[in-house]
Amino acid sequence: MNMNQVSAVVTGGASGLGEATVREIVKQGGKATILDVQVEKGQDLAEELKGSVTFVETDVTDQTSVKQALNQAVSTYGSINTVVNCAGIGNAEKTYSKSRGPHKLENFSRVLEVNLLGSFNVVRLAAEKMSQNEANEEEERGVIINTASVAAFEGQIGQVAYSASKGGIVGMTLPLARDLSSFGIRVLTIAPGLVDTPLFAGLPEKARESLGKMTPFPQRLGYPKEYAMLAKSLIENPLMNGEVIRLDGAIRMQPK
């Protein structure tokens, strides 16, 4: 798919990986609709990139909220042919500890609800919209990129909920691609390593440097724009489908 033909929905697009992806899409001549709960940041970015970006306050776990957002995206730009799911949350909680007892079930459920169910909710509803698109010369009607994490493969101590949610995204990549192949819709997943997102913003510089040195090369935190660069490449390459791509500088996470 040519980037200047992209009409994207980017969840979590108001900051971090999503924001970088929105900026890359616009840079390449495409359009984007931001779906996020961060109203002020989303509105500010839409205003900055006015004409190419709109913002819709959206809870990805809510069917009605997502349907309304997708309808607005289609109304604004005529169609949706790209989805990049970056919305997500994390927590740090052991399965059991002497001081805190068993992992709170509601905390585990909430992480899965936002990260896994939320991603699938957007995918299933966006796929319906994409199926109505006119196919391009490659018989392609859409591209969907979900976001996992290296935690899906090497979850650390206290990451049981987060790792389960991201492992679910990895696991559904191929079935989604197979389910949607008859419509000409590709599905891919990016699994980032340690990337400099708002999650790390509050850490002291020494702590950030220490985390960066865990990566074999380059020995630093990743940049959100590097995620956006990969997303661009995946959108443009019609043979890329049903795959999970690690973007991690060769890091393999230790238990803690």
Q: SS3 letters for the chain?
A: CCHHHCEEEEECCCCHHHHHHHHHHHHCCCEEEEEECCHHHHHHHHHHCCCCEEEEECCCCCHHHHHHHHHHHHHHHCCCCEEEECCCCCCCCCCEECCCEECCHHHHHHHHHHHHHHHHHHHHHHHHHHCCCCCCCCCCCEEEEEECCHHHCCCCCCCHHHHHHHHHHHHHHHHHHHHHHHHCEEEEEEEECCECCHHHCCCCHHHHHHHHCCCCCCCCCECHHHHHHHHHHHHHCCCCCCCEEEECCCCCCCCC
Residue 211 has pLDDT above 90, yes or no: no
At 201, the pLDDT band (50, 70, 90 cuts) reads confident
Please give the Cα distance from 190 to 168 (Å, whole number): 13
Q: Is the pTM of this model over 0.75?
A: yes
At 143, the pLDDT band (50, 70, 90 cuts) reads very high
At 207, the pLDDT band (50, 70, 90 cuts) reads confident
Q: What tens digit of pLDDT does each residue of 158-172 get?
A: 999 999 999 999 999
- From the options 2.130.10.10, 3.40.50.740, 3.10.450.230, 3.40.50.720, give the CATH code of 3-194+222-247: 3.40.50.720
Residue 102 has pLDDT above 80, yes or no: yes
Question: Residue 162 catalytic?
Answer: yes
Q: Residue ranges of the domains in the chain?
A: 3-194+222-247
Task: Tell which residue, 186, 217, 195, has the closest CA to residue 19.
Answer: 195
Percent of the chain predicted with pLDDT > 90: 93
Lowest mean pLDDT among 93-102, 147-156, 191-200: 191-200
Catalytic residue among 77, 96, 162, 227: 162
At 67, the pLDDT band (50, 70, 90 cuts) reads very high
Please give the Cα distance from 141 to 56 (Å, whole number): 23
